[in-house]
Structure 1
Amino acid sequence: MKILVFLILGVFGANGNSSGGSIRPKNVNIGALFTYNSVIGRSAMPAILAAVEDVNSDTTILKNTKLNLIMQDTNCSGFVGTIEAMQLMGREVVAAIGPQSSGIAHVISHVVNELHVPLLSFGATDPTLSALQYPYFLRTTTSDYFQMYAIADLVSYFGWRKVVAIFVDDDYGRNGISILGDALVKKRAKISYKAAFTPRGPESDIDNLLVGVNLLESRVFIVHVNPDSGLNIFSTAKRLGMMSASYVWIATDWLPSLLHSSYRIEPNTADLIQGVIALRHHTPDSDLKTRFSSKWESLKNKEIIKFNSYALYAYDSVWLLAQALDVLFNSIDAITFSVDPRLRDMNESVLHLQSLRIFDQGPKLLQILTSTNFTGVTGQIQFDSEKNLIHPAYDILNIGGSGSRRLGYWSNYSGLSIVPPDTLYINPPNTSASRQNLYSAIWLGETTKMPKGWVFPNNGKALRIAVPYRVSFLDVVTKDKGPLGVKGYCIDVFESAVALLPYAVPHQYILYGDGQRPPSYNNLVSEVAENPFMDSGLVVVAPVKQTKSSPWAFLKPYSWQMWGVTGIFFLFVGAVVCILEYRTNTEFRGSPRQQLITIFWFSFSTMFFKHRVKTCNNLLQEFKDTLISNSDPIGVQEGSFAYTYLRDELSIAESRLRVLKTQDDYVNALQGGGVAAIVSELPYA
């Protein structure tokens, strides 16, 4: 009898494991690590329990082996989570589901690497949890690497160039935003300011942080925080008036995770986030997902009525492990654990590290896990060479009313699309700009007009624009009693151009002149260059507009004194560019009298009109052959730069120049034969 008992122990081992492939262990320990009382944990716990129950009742997998689940509460603490993980590893688990925290995952990944225990995390999305550094860490959800590239594509799609990142200052927050910065640079955009706050810090920290970012130029805020405290950001922003039109708020998947863990959005919560754009893990519709949703209604041990995407990933994680163990048991004789030689000399430690043992079959199980391919409730479960799930995708949501509407999808396969990415996988990948498309959003303030994403900073100085205080040609520009202080055609053109900008430009008009006579443009430009206007950041002289009504036109490069980073822009906005067209006029060629010659000045004209240089040269030659070569008088508007241009550039004697002040002077000079021609700017002409 003693010999028989010895033989039985020798065959099955002390832990009851079989030495033959045909006889499997009756039970196998698996662990689960997450924070029970959290948005993710309250969804993950019933999902994990349901998955274990489903596996144990399924006769087609693991056969006579049952999964023995050991759960540990990490209590939303890096220290407690590490201790709990160490205790779990001392229970001879073959794998662990979790953790949900990226910070805890960083710490315990070192432990599982040492003990060869695969860690299947359904919630740790930090991109720096790489397969190279942590070979036994296997992410069974989508890495934030892809989410940040999705946000960068969104920013580029809407034409914004600067964003403010608001994030929790831990591994999850910092590393995600770091990837976002890299992704934005590739789209010629950037993070203009990184606003980090301490995890579980006082609300006053958030208040101070938002007051600071509200002084910045950018009005596009990316919020990457934890779901348990994220709404504090929006409630504070609401109180500070930052949840109104012109603001853009984009939340990562934490917000849908919070909202979809509730049966409905509470009115107070809904009021906070109207118009917010959010990303949610995309899980394709399927019969498996529908059955899971139906099963959820009858699940025990659940504190919430609805579930978020992390519940689905947790459920699939258990099934992934079960399928891998099924394959493993067909190829090994027994499950065994060995003493770690590095811990052998620590038997007297009060930490009892001698209970930590190496899982001998861990490397083989890990290899099976990474090569498994099956369809779960989240879709296809398969890993690429870097141990990321293939086909990462997100739903783009627009929060509104008591729920949300889907604007479209993002995937690394097709970019932004209104077509579900699952239907596009049969086609070649295409992320070209022409294929990017989303439905229209309803933004903060219940408007469909896309926010510009930029405002002049509250602590910045308004743009000061020098405007000639005219006494003639008042339709062009003059003083006014209205809000702007000036009015006229040039002002209308400038205001219309500024309104087309993708951001606001606060500005004020400064009248130049005494209102008794037209001021000199040359003096104005000289004073702009020399006087303290420069301390305002930028000075712009009111522009003139070119039209096509004149039979003759010349391009004359003219230099503006410009300061500030936006100076170049105003060279383009300040003048409306039109193609100059020379139309043959035989009557004009025969008699220069009673004809109007116009000169249009525009900086950088040769850059845009190289193809017109020959025509302009021909026109200039005709001008020289007619008016310049003879002694006929030429009319010039008082105060116009044309006076010095004719005198200094074309060497016309001042005795030939006749200064004209009003519209009547123009008419009388032409009709009465006082001038052979008038050189003027088109708005006045």
Structure 2
Amino acid sequence: MNDIILQTDSVEREPHSHSQVLFVLILTTKYHFSLFRPTDIITLDMNFYYYWLWLVFLFMLPYLEQVYSNSRPSFVNIGAIFTFDSSIGKVAKLAMEQAVKDVNSNSSILHSTQLVLHMQTSNCSGFDGMIQALRFMETDVIAILGPQSSVVSHIVAHVANELRVPMLSFAATDPTLSSLQFPFFVRTTLSDLYQMTAVAEIIDFYGWKEVITIYVDDDYGRNGVSALDDALAERRCRISYKVGIKSGPDVDRGEITNLLVNVAMMQSRIIVVHAHSNSGFMIFKVAHYLGMMQEGYVWIATDWLSTVLDSTSLPLETMDTLQGALVLRQHTPDTDRKKMFTSKWNNLTGGSLGLNSYGLHAYDTVWLVAQAIDNFFSQGGVVSCTNYTSLHSDKAGGLNLDAMSIFDNGTLLLNNILRSNFVGLSGPIKLDSERSLFRPAYDIINVVGNGVRRVGYWSNYSGLSIVSPETLYANPPNRSSANQHLHTVIWPGETTSRPRGWVFPNNGKQLRIGVPIRASYREFVSPVKGTDLFKGFCVDVFVAAVNLLPYAVPYRFVPFGDGHKNPSYTEFVNKITTGYFDGAVGDIAIVTNRTRIVDFTQPYAASGLVVVAPFKKINSGGWSFLQPFTPFMWIVTACFFFFVGIVVWILEHRVNDEFRGSPKQQFVTILWSVIYLRESYCHALLNSCILLYMLWYKRDYYYTTTNK
């Protein structure tokens, strides 16, 4: 037994040798069995074997723990790049710090490994962001959170791709940051592609067709407006005027004033502002000064404004400049977990800093990385780096970047990030094929008084609705126009009436509408003497169609022809193709050769031959059935009447006694014989009365039915 103890002591002195552990177990078992004779082995008590099995397990437990701990490091580094003093950065910094504390205090994730977060500010500068990203690579950072700015994200994403470090941005919304160009870029917030779709559906919902966009002239602003242009085109709307302003902290009030003066001279009154907070508030301040926040205008701001409204309390003077504006805000479900964190947040900040949607995304991003790292280690992943050889070539010059290295297992960690699926503070955290959050949704809020009121929701699942997206997810999607609803909006000027959205522009170009001056058929088109106006059926149809348009169309009629003879309509149509006329109004026939060079409207007059006859009112008196008989027709009828009677008298006079007698008697016989030759005078008189009665009754029935 002393040998066993000594052997055990030797094993304890060398805990890292797995082969020695196995050798000691085998040796111990052999030595134990050598104490008994072969015939005594069968009689051993089974409890004795159980005792030795437990002893072996307890003996190996410290070594198994050490082997497990050797596969996971004691800490792991992640980095974060954003602007500390911005509206998003202030909230994100505190949210990520709290998320790291919650992760490290949770024993169910990362276990003995501590998550270490290194933060660097980029000051919204692409150069500073790149420098900070390179510094992270010297500390074996295996994931980068941020950057906050889309401009900086474009630059840092190139560094992340080269060094195979996953980059998760909780605030970069530029839709051109795609996984095709940047395979290691993951967006943990909503893309502006969805936000601009929401703006386009709001514009289409209210029936507006043209909008004006004011945007910051960088990647964030330009690409966002480009996405809006595409979304509007799908709904047969368009951007009529684009206004770009310089990006940066210094905003020139005079420059913005000149830009807004030009906007005020335009036709559209629908203005979309996609900018940063510093320039955005200046735009609204100048617009309020110029009287552009009055009735008739519509202002729509993207989520830059809601981020500030949720984070800080604005002065009353600033809130006055925002009255009536529609604002989009990233939607996050009102869950119990979110309410508990909001209460905890208020205790941390003392109510001085509000929690916005980007802060929730930043918190969830830390948890997303932590869970992915935990799965990474469970799959046998190891944090190992290889020197970036490209920096040691002649191309590197004098750069001292020897510490730069490539994360060997970056692809494995990235795959674990993409497969993440859990419920965070901002809702379900699941990435789609575009590496963006699943089921995007926005709140639509209205700035009223000193706060905001929610007028509806937009989701990629069901469009505009007054019901929360979580409720609609339980039902099949319905994007029909009848299912799109929003609450009443209080527009600028404190009105609830839907603004028309356009006015007659002060600097708009008038359309030249050609009008033929004919010598005949002047009912279609003819000039009004002494004026430059025109009248006629074609002109009335054109004016009625223009009045039905949801926007203003300035135009003027330009005559074609001298009025002494009909002009050539082929030459008239050719004037449109040359640009002399913008359009034409008149009785222009639609023929094949003309349809090849111009577009015609639908014909508004039926083609073919018609008969035009004067309408004469019919007299419905008792003797109206006699009106078709003219005096000449009465004379001819009377002549035929007597002619037939004379012929009958000539034929019957010699053989029929009824046709004899005095001349008076024979004359009467001739008259009655014409009607009924073989009946008596009484019977003939009765038949005549019946005939007259039937004619009278038929006449009354006809006029009664036709006048109903």
Q: What displacement does 1:452 show?
A: 1.1
Structure 1 counterpart of 2:319? 270
Structure 2 counterpart SS, 1:124: coil
| Aligned-residue offset at 1:215 | 1.6
Q: Could you tell me which residue of structure 2 aligns to residue 129 of structure 1?
A: 177
- 1:331 and 1:288 map into 2 onto residues whose CA distance is 30
Question: What is the SS of the residue equivalent to 2:415?
Answer: helix
Letter in 1 for 2:190: T
Q: Equivalent residue for 1:78? A: 126
Aligned residue type for 1:207: T
Asked if structure 2 preserves the Cα contact closer than 8 Å seen for 1:234 and 1:272, the reply is yes
Decide whether aligned partners of structure 1 residues 351 and 186 sit closer, same or farther in structure 2, where only a CA change above 3 A counts: same
- Greater Cα offset, 82-91 or 34-43: 82-91
Map 1:393-542 onto structure 2 (within 5 A). Answer: 393-460=441-508, 502-503=550-551
Q: Which amino acid aligns with 1:294?
A: S
From the superposition, tell whether residues 625 and 499 of structure 1 become closer, same or farther in structure 2 (CA, over 3 Å): closer
Distance 1:19 1:414 in 2: 52
Matched, 1:64 2:123: no
Alpha-carbon offset, residue 497 of structure 1: 10
CA gap of 1:464–1:134, structure 2 versus 1, over 3 A, is closer
So what's the TM-score if we normalise by structure 1? Answer: 0.68
SS in 2 for 1:90: helix
Kindly indicate whether the alpha-carbon contact (under 8 Å) linking 1:18 and 1:333 is maintained by their aligned counterparts in 2: no
1:341 aligns with 2:332: no
Q: Are 1:154 and 2:202 matched, yes or no?
A: yes
Identify the residue that residue 31 of structure 2 maps to in structure 1.
none
Look up the match of 2:264.
214
Q: State whether residues 324 and 448 of structure 2, in contact with CA within 8 Å, keep that contact through their aligned partners in structure 1.
A: yes
**CA-to-aligned-CA distance 1:175-202 (integer Å, 9 cap, x gap):** 1111111111000011111111111252
User: Which amino acid is the alignment partner of residue 419 of structure 1?
Assistant: V
What is the Cα deviation at residue 439 of structure 1? Answer: 1.1
Alignment of 1:74-473 (within 5 A): 74-200=122-248, 201-263=251-313, 265-299=314-348, 304-332=352-380, 334-345=382-393, 350-460=398-508
Distance 2:603 2:612 in 1: 22
When structure 1 is superposed on structure 2, of 352-361 and 440-449 the one drifting more is: 352-361
Contact 2:143–2:165 (8 Å) recurs in 1: yes
Taking a change above 3 Å as real, the CA distance of residues 304 and 134 of structure 1, as seen in their structure-2 partners, is: farther
1:502 Cα offset (Å) = 3.5
- Tell me how far apart the structure 1 counterparts of residues 139 and 131 of structure 2 sit (CA, whole Å): 13
Q: Would you say the 8 A contact 1:463–1:506 is kept in 2?
A: yes
Q: Cα gap change, 1:18/1:224 in structure 2, threshold over 3 Å: closer, same or farther? A: farther
Between the aligned partners of 2:412 and 2:293, the Cα distance in structure 1 is 52
Aligned amino acid, residue 474 of structure 2: I
Q: Distance in 2 between matches of 1:463 and 1:494?
A: 13
CA deviation after TM superposition for structure 1 residue 132, in Å: 0.8
Distance 2:554 2:494 in 1: 24
Cα distance in structure 2, aligned partners of 1:260 and 1:46: 15
Q: Report the AA paired with residue 284 of structure 1.
A: P
| Aligned mates of 1:438, 1:18 — CA distance in 2 | 61
SS at match of 1:195: strand
TM-score scaled to structure 2, two decimals?
A: 0.66
Secondary structure at 1:273 match in 2:
coil
- Report the Cα offset of residue 317 of structure 1: 0.2
| Amino acid corresponding to residue 273 of structure 1 in structure 2 | L
Distance in 2 (alpha carbons) for counterparts of 1:212 and 1:341: 55
CA contact (8 A) 1:461 1:537 kept: no
Q: Which runs of 5+ in 1 are unaligned?
A: 11-16, 467-492, 510-521, 542-556, 560-570, 573-602, 628-685
Whether contact under 8 Å (1:34, 1:101) holds in the other structure is yes
1:21–1:331 contact (8 Å) kept in structure 2: no
Amino acid at match of 1:150: A
Unpaired runs of at least 5, structure 2: 1-11, 19-64, 516-540, 558-562, 573-579, 590-599, 619-708
Contact 2:110 2:370 in 1 (8 A): yes
| Structure 1 residue 316, shift from structure 2 partner | 0.4
Q: What is the CA distance between 1:349 and its match in structure 2? A: 5.4
* Superposed counterparts of 1:33-44, under 5 Å: 33-44=81-92
Corresponding letter in the other structure for 1:37: D
Aligned AA (2:614): F
Is the Cα–Cα contact under 8 Å of residues 215 and 459 in structure 1 kept in the other structure? yes
Shift of 1:605: 3.9
Partners of 1:114 and 1:221 in 2: CA distance: 41
More helix by share: 2
Q: Tell me: CA distance 1:625–1:76, structure 2 relative to 1, closer, same or farther (3 Å).
A: same
Offset at residue 297 of structure 1 (A): 1.4
Residue of structure 2 in register with 1:623 after alignment: 614
CA spacing shift, 1:58–1:246, aligned 2, 3 Å: same
Counterparts of 1:6 and 1:193 in 2: how far apart (Å)? 78
- Flag the 1:172–1:328 CA change in 2: closer, same or farther, 3 A: same
In 1, the alpha carbon distance for the partners of 2:68 and 2:85 equals 42
| Residue-by-residue CA offset, 1:60-99 (whole Å, 9 max, x unaligned) | 2111111111000101212112212211222211101111
Greater shift in the superposed pair: 385-394 or 453-462: 453-462
Deviation of 1:270 after TM superposition, in Å, equals 1.1
Say if 1:31 and 1:97, in contact at 8 Å, map to a contact too. Answer: yes
- Could you tell me whether the CA contact under 8 Å between 1:131 and 1:137 is conserved in 2? yes
User: How large is the RMSD of aligned CA atoms in angstroms?
Assistant: 4.2
* Residue type at the aligned position of 2:115: L
- The letter for the 1-side match of 2:275 is V
Alpha-carbon distance in 2 for matches of 1:372, 1:81: 27
Query: Could you tell me how far apart the structure 2 residues matched to 1:303 and 1:350 are?
Result: 50
| Counterpart code for 1:338 | T
Equivalent residues of 1:166, 1:222 under 8 A apart: yes
Identify which range, 205-214 or 116-125, moves more after superposition: 205-214
Percent identity of the aligned residues?
48
Conserved in 1, the CA contact under 8 Å of 2:381 and 2:409?
no
| Cα deviation code 1:349-388 (max 9, x no counterpart) | 5542222111112110100000110000110000111111
Supply the distance in 2 between the matched residues of 1:202 and 1:7 (Cα, whole angstroms). Answer: 70
Question: Does the CA contact (< 8 Å) of 1:29 and 1:67 recur in 2?
Answer: yes
For 1:560-639, what aligned pairs fall within 5 Å after superposition?
Answer: 605-606=604-605, 620=611, 622-623=613-614
CA gap of 1:63–1:508, structure 2 versus 1, over 3 A, is same
CA distance in 1, matches of 2:155, 2:17: 38
Give the distance between the partners of 2:588 and 2:274, measured in 1 at CA.
49
Q: Which amino acid aligns with 1:361?
A: N
CA contact (8 A) 2:78 2:118 kept: yes
Contact 1:38 1:228 in 2 (8 A): no
* Alpha-carbon distance between aligned partners in 1 of 2:79 and 2:17, rounded to the nearest angstrom: 26
Q: Is the 8 A contact 1:344 1:354 kept in 2?
A: yes
Q: Residue type matched to 1:174 in 2?
A: R
**Alignment partners' CA distance in 1, 2:223 and 2:13:** 57
CA offset digits 1:106-144 (Å, max 9, x no partner): 001010111111111000000000011101110000010
Tell me the SS of whatever aligns to 2:291: coil
Contact persistence 2:209–2:550 (CA under 8 A): no
- Judge conservation of contact 1:248–1:444 (CA < 8 Å) in 2: yes
Cα–Cα, structure 1 residues 417 and 332, in superposed 2: closer, same or farther, change >3 Å? same
